[in-house]
């Protein structure tokens, strides 16, 4: 039997329709929600991602500004630009597109962003609030996954959620969100021995390694819900971290493309609106 498709594109469209309504409501109060994105250098994938964020903002009636800095910009120049955006009361969300060129410290850049405008949710203050169960701005990809699970009626209390990957962007905050939702959580990484023994115990398996075919059908038990966070390019086509044959074992699964990806951008808009709404109160 083939898995039920967890349609991220359709769910993102629903979230974006709500975002458009929230933006319109803010405008009646004289507030124009505004996201500022800093893009350093010419990384083609980053340029594509930033363009899709701009387009999504436009669709929802959110103003977006892209600050482009040259590949050669210094740490001080980049941080000075963040300071300008931090100090601008007309800017609600600030995002620095990652990865940065190797000579720049992303840790220092993330810490420079005002936590109240950190719509990526990567600042240690926001990660800390999530870790103690008092989340404010939550990283977009894991937040989007929780919205997808909710949309599809997949309940979390008491479930065993297995996460493969422990990155700052996905794995770690995902684990914290699942703990907060009363799931039993196992986080695996490249040094986990007998990975398949653990993945086979999952009720919900979330895979974010950045490597295609991390998970093959024999690593998944029948009936598992599989969330594939990967976006890899192989032989000119996009594929996830999960072998598409897993569709024949899972009870429900996100496709790539059209699964988690659209939700990430939708949650970015939602986080930006949350900041603007808080300022309005």
Residue 18 within binding range of ligand GUN, rule CB under 6 A? no
Catalytic-residue membership of 53: yes
Instruction: Please check whether residue 61 is in contact with residue 27, taking contact to mean a CB–CB distance below 8 angstroms.
Output: yes
Site for ligand GUN in 51-110 (CB under 6 A): 95-98
Distant-in-sequence, close-in-space partners of 122: CB < 8 Å, separation ≥ 6: 110, 139, 168, 169
String of contacts with ligand GUN for each residue 182-221, x by CB under 6 A: ----------------------------------------
Residue (119 or 220) nearer to ligand GUN, CB: 119
**What 3-state class would DSSP assign to 35?**
strand
Residue (47 or 192) nearer to ligand GUN, CB: 47
From the CB of 98, what's the least distance to ligand GUN, in Å? Answer: 4
Enter the tokens of residue 264: 């990430």
Residue 272 within binding range of ligand GUN, rule CB under 6 A? no
* CA distances (Å), origin 192, targets 51, 174, 187, 256: 37, 18, 9, 25
Can you state the angle between helices 260-280 and 8-28, rounded to 10 degrees? 20
Q: Which of 8, 91, 120, 156 binds ligand GUN (CB under 6 A)?
A: 120
CA distance 141 to 136: 15
Size of the site for ligand GUN (CB under 6 A): 9
Residue (141 or 199) nearer to ligand GUN, CB: 141
Catalytic-residue membership of 27: no
CA distance 216 to 249: 10
| DSSP string of 239-276, one letter each residue | E-SB-GGGGGT-SEE--SSSSHHHHHHHHHHHHHHHHH
Residue (173 or 255) nearer to ligand GUN, CB: 173
Residue (95 or 256) nearer to ligand GUN, CB: 95
**Candidate list 81, 118, 120, 159, residue with the active-site label:** 120
Q: Which of 100, 113, 140, 164 binds ligand GUN (CB under 6 A)?
A: 140
Distant-in-sequence, close-in-space partners of 250: CB < 8 Å, separation ≥ 6: 3, 220, 223, 224, 225, 226
Q: Which of 56, 104, 164, 169 binds ligand GUN (CB under 6 A)?
A: 169
From the CB of 141, what's the least distance to ligand GUN, in Å? Answer: 6
Catalytic-residue membership of 29: no
Residue showing the smallest CB distance to ligand GUN in the complex: 98
Site for ligand GUN in 228-257 (CB under 6 A): none
Instruction: Please check whether residue 248 is in contact with residue 224, taking contact to mean a CB–CB distance below 8 angstroms.
Output: no
Residue 267 within binding range of ligand GUN, rule CB under 6 A? no
Nearest to 163 by CA among 125, 133, 208: 208
- Tell me phi and psi for residue 36, to 5 degrees: -110, 130
* Residues annotated catalytic, as ranges: 53, 97, 120
Residues contributing to the site for ligand GUN (CB under 6 A): 95-98, 120, 140-141, 169, 264
């Amino acid at each position: 039997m083939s898995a039920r498709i967890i349609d991220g594109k359709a769910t993102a469209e629903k979230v974006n329709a709500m975002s458009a309504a929230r933006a319109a409501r803010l405008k009646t109060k004289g507030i124009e929600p505004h996201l500022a994105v800093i893009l350093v250098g010419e990384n083609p994938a980053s340029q594509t991602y930033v363009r899709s964020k701009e387009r999504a903002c436009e669709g929802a009636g959110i103003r977006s500004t892209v600050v482009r800095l040259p590949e050669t910009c210094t740490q001080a120049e980049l941080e000075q630009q963040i300071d300008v955006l931090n100090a601008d009361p007309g800017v609600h969300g600030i995002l620095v597109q990652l990865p940065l060129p190797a000579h720049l410290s992303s840790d220092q850049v993330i810490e420079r962003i005002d936590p109240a405008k950190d719509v990526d949710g990567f600042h240690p203050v926001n990660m800390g609030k999530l870790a103690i169960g008092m989340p404010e701005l939550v990283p977009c990809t894991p937040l989007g996954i929780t919205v997808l699970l909710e949309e599809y009626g997949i309940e979390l209390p008491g479930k065993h959620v297995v996460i493969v990957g422990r990155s700052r962007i996905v794995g770690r905050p995902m684990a914290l969100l699942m703990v907060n939702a009363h799931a039993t959580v196992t986080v695996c990484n490249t040094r986990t021995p007998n990975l398949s023994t653990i993945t086979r115990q999952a009720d919900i398996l979330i895979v974010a390694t950045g490597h295609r075919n991390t998970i093959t059908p024999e690593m998944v038990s029948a009936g598992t819900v599989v969330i594939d966070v990967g976006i890899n390019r192989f032989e000119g086509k996009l594929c996830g971290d999960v072998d598409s044959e897993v569709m024949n074992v899972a009870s429900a699964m996100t496709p790539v493309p059209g699964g988690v990806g659209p939700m990430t951008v939708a949650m970015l808009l939602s986080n930006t609106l949350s900041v603007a709404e808080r300022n309005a109160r």
